[in-house]
Structure 1
Amino acid sequence: MRKLVAIILLCFFIQTGESCTIFSLYPNGQHWVGRTFDWAYGHGLVYTNKRNVTKTSLKLLPTDVTSTWTSKYGSVTFNQFGREFPTGGMNEAGLLIDALELKSSIFPQADTRPSFNELQFMQYVLDNYGSIEALANDLKSIRLSPVGSKLHYFVCDVNQCMTVEYIDGEVVTHSGSTLPISGIANNTYEEHVDYARDFITFGGDKSIVLDSKDSLDRFVRSNYNAKFINQSTDPVQTLFGFLEDVGSTNNRWQLIYNQDEKTITFRTQTHLDKQRKVDLVKIDFSCITSTQYFDLDSDTAGDVNVAFRDFDSEVNLQVIKKSVKMQGLPAALSGRLAIYPSETQCN
């Protein structure tokens, strides 16, 4: 059994979209974030995650150092590898975090700091933080211990955003005055900003490159478009158009976070005609009630709060198995990820 686990850990390889784009904007004076999720498959579950739940980080590598915490905030997350291992989401304080691929990432060497794999890190952030300032103060006291994917992160509270990257083994953040353009794609933030300076409205005179799916061009075009959001009478539909513009042929999910209203409006490639909306204000985040889920393959449209169902361990397992199989991972990994929620405890 130990040998099998060792093989799983060596082979564990979670990936998010390599052509994703995320950016923030301010229609009607509110703080919104738009995000594309471009990947080989689009199945997944939307989970409600409860406050006052005690968790211990999952140890996947021999050098991992576990940490235990109790969630301060409830959240809604989008998950392909099961409950507690999201690709991104937003908590009830309005703080959101999403991950995009950054192949040049170099993460810290193993040390004595508490460590988190690249997906559970996002759940940890949503569980514990209501502002990027609080998160920024703690980032150097924890260690990212990825088990395959090289990612960087976009984190926003209701007032501002921050990028989190790992460059040459050190965590590097941009926020406030060091975040002149609020978004990222699949290059480092500095590479994005350096490239954007040549284009109109960003300091240069070059025309915006239309139709290009290159990471740098997607970054420029998405943030250029965002400058004109207040000219729209329907910000949601206009923003979906922006997301369609920068998405690839594998643009599986389009997510729109309204952090002031604490809603997530989304559509999926399999149901582009069906706009869905989750309202976090309407969710009971007390852990004495069941965690709930919404299946992204459902054909339900509109307000989907009423379509959430109580947590089902078998449904969770089947989604994990599907992801594990599609990425050619060891089948036994599914069981380890699926059992993790049972190791958490409501207080």
Structure 2
Amino acid sequence: MIKKIYLSLLIAMITSNLIYPCSAIVLKNENQILLAKNFDWTYHDGIIIKNLRSISKTAYYTHQGEPAQWTSKYGSITFNQNGKEMPYGGMNEKGLVVEMLWLDLTKYNINEEKKYLNELEWIQYQLDNFETVQQVIDHLNEVKIYPIKGKIHYILTDKTGESVIIEYLNGMPTTYKKEANVCQTITNHSVHQSEPYKNQIKGIRKNNTAPTYRYYQLEQKISNFKVKTELNEAYAFNVLQKVTIPKGDFRTMWSIVYNVHQKSISFLTDTHKEIKNIRLPDLDFGEELTYFPLHQNEIINLSRELKSFTEHISYSYLSPSLIHLGFDETVTKDISQHQFLQSKGVSSYFASNYFHFEISIPLEEEKQTVFIAVMDSEEQFKKREVVTGGYLYGTVPNNGTLMVHIYGLKNGKYSMLTFIDNNKNRNLDFDKQGKAMEKYATFSHFTFANENELTFSSTSADFSISNAQVAVKWNH
């Protein structure tokens, strides 16, 4: 049996615009329950959608198997970039809140024989079907996640005051639940990785692009939180401000505060900083699918201002967002049409043309530092830009096999460079004779005579679902 291990301490991106932060915190006392979230990303546009109850739904067909089917019991308000049915987070009319954040070490059990949905449909599924955190936990193993791109974990809360973080680290969901009046926070490392940084920042880069630093700041807010503190939206936005990434291509695009007891949502965006709000009790979830753009200051109370939402409007947001994630136009049209038709498919463009990498990297010693980068073009290689989810760098505490998963890549040619970074400089080092000084591997069988031979073509191979499981063999 392969001993599977995971990176600890440090996971960083090869270029600063390809990190994947987000921060979330659940603040609770006897009078209030607030879930506050910063959405940090490189793509700007977004909308809120009013999702209806009593709508029959079918998950998007991604592979041979049975997509999940259900009928929505509850209406919800969600924050979306990728059309309806694939939100980043939201609240339903019973007060259940679900949000997601990036987690690079995520591994879904894609081969499990269960009805499936993708990682964002999972959010809408919970909002459609359940009232409480405990109900979500009780039904967690009824469906599996077959992702189209994202490696994410989830944070939820409800009217009882319970909250939970749900992570998929080795195929199976793991839950970390907190009772009423016990606050909870998470950023972009697993719960297990994050906990050592609750009360100390030694060795942490003191910058909000660092997940551990944001986690530390939020935990300090929890530690200093007094039960009698006046807990309201202003307080929560102030907490989010402490972990905001204010500028750059990668920045905080919007900040949200969900008020569970009032069933209201307040938010602001990076370009429109007036706080907008919407109250779910003021909405009719029995008629007309509606939406509203996030980035505007003209209308503050959105409850009675939502506009009719059509596939044409949905596609105008969905297509550029999914293309930004690396999908082609054909699959964006396929997904958009499915979201409005909701028919049970037996094939899809995604299923025929996209695959998931599983890369196994053998580590013979403890505490080795591993570099891996996957790129999909000569241009990306020259710029040192990786595919979404295609870069890991960190120190592995144990020997064994490091499993790396990259989801939702189109069939084609990909380049990989991985090496044991003995010098911890994130470079494959060569001696004066041009020989590599560190163990390395690529997708090709080419052995480099010198550093100049390290190119996209010399490190790449063609891939599809037929050969997507790659076992690394080191060159010495």
Distance in 2 (CA, whole Å) between partners of 1:210 and 1:27 is 30
Residue among 220, 236, 241 paired with 1:239: 236
Q: Which residue of 2 aligns with 1:267?
A: 268
Greater Rg, structure 1 or structure 2?
2
Aligned to 1:10: none
Flag the 1:269–1:229 CA change in 2: closer, same or farther, 3 A: farther
- For structure 1, the residue ranges without an aligned partner over 5 or more in a row are 1-15, 200-205
Please name the residue that 1:282 is paired with: 282
- In 2, the alpha carbon distance for the partners of 1:180 and 1:279 equals 25
**Stretches of structure 2 lacking an aligned partner (at least 5 in a row):** 1-17, 344-476
- 1:136-193 Cα offsets, whole Å, 9 max, x none, are 111122111112211001111121111110111221111036x975111000012212
The one-letter amino acid paired with 2:327 is L
Q: Tell whether 2:94 aligns with 1:93.
A: yes
Name 1:135's counterpart in structure 2.
136
Indicate the SS of the match to 2:319.
helix
Matched AA of 1:48: K
Q: Match for 1:129: what amino acid?
A: F
Q: Tell me the equivalent position of 1:216.
A: 212
TM-score by structure 2 length?
0.63
Q: Report the structure, 1 or 2, having the larger helix content.
A: 1
2: distance between equivalents of 1:43 and 1:277?
18
Q: Is the 8 A contact 1:17 1:101 kept in 2?
A: no
Does the 8 A contact of 2:311 with 2:340 survive in 1? no
Q: What is the match of residue 48 of structure 1?
A: 50
**Partners of 1:79 and 1:244 in 2: how far apart?**
22
Contact persistence 1:27–1:235 (CA under 8 A): no
1:336 is aligned to 2:338: no
AA of the residue aligned to 1:333 = V
How far residue 238 of structure 1 moved from its aligned partner, in angstroms, is: 2.8
Amino acid at match of 1:98: E
| Change in 2 beyond 3 A, CA 1:265/1:293 | same
Distance in 1 of aligned mates of 2:79 and 2:183: 25
Given that 1:25 and 1:229 are in contact with CA atoms closer than 8 Å, whether structure 2 keeps it comes out as: no
**Deviation for aligned residue 1:84:** 1.1
What's the % identity of the aligned pairs? Answer: 25
Please tell me whether the aligned partners of residues 262 and 279 of structure 1 are also in contact (alpha carbons under 8 angstroms).
yes
Deviations 1:3-32 (A, max 9, x none): xxxxxxxxxxxxx98110000112672100
Within the candidate set 284, 293, 296, 1:295 is matched to: 293
**Once the 2 structures are TM-superposed, how far is the Cα of residue 233 of structure 1 from its aligned partner?**
5.8
Give 1:225 shift.
Answer: 2.0
TM-fit CA distance, 1:342: 2.6
Alignment size in residue pairs: 319
Is 1:313 paired with 2:311? yes
Whether contact under 8 Å (1:229, 1:235) holds in the other structure is no
* Amino acid in structure 2 at the alignment position of 1:223: E
Distance 2:164 2:89 in 1: 15
Distance 1:148 1:234, change over 3 A: closer
Q: AA paired with 1:59? A: Y
- Confirm or deny: 8 A CA contact 2:198 2:220 kept in the other structure: no
CA contact (8 A) 1:64 1:145 kept: no
Q: Is the 8 A contact 2:29 2:231 kept in 1?
A: no
CA contact under 8 A between 1:229 and 1:238: conserved in structure 2? Answer: no
Structure 2 distance, partners of 1:212, 1:66, is 39
Matches of residues 1-347 of structure 1 in structure 2 within 5 Å? 18-26=20-28, 29-60=31-62, 62-158=63-159, 159-176=161-178, 182-198=184-200, 212-226=208-222, 227-228=224-225, 235-248=232-245, 249=247, 250-272=251-273, 274-286=274-286, 289-344=287-342
Give distance in 2, aligned partners of 1:28 and 1:302: 29
Shift of 1:231: 7.2
- Aligned partners of 2:334 and 2:275: how far apart in 1? 34
Q: Which moved more, 1:165-174 or 1:179-188?
A: 179-188
Q: What's the TM-score once normalised by structure 1's chain length?
A: 0.85
CA RMSD of aligned residues (A): 2.5
Distance 1:234 1:160, change over 3 A: closer
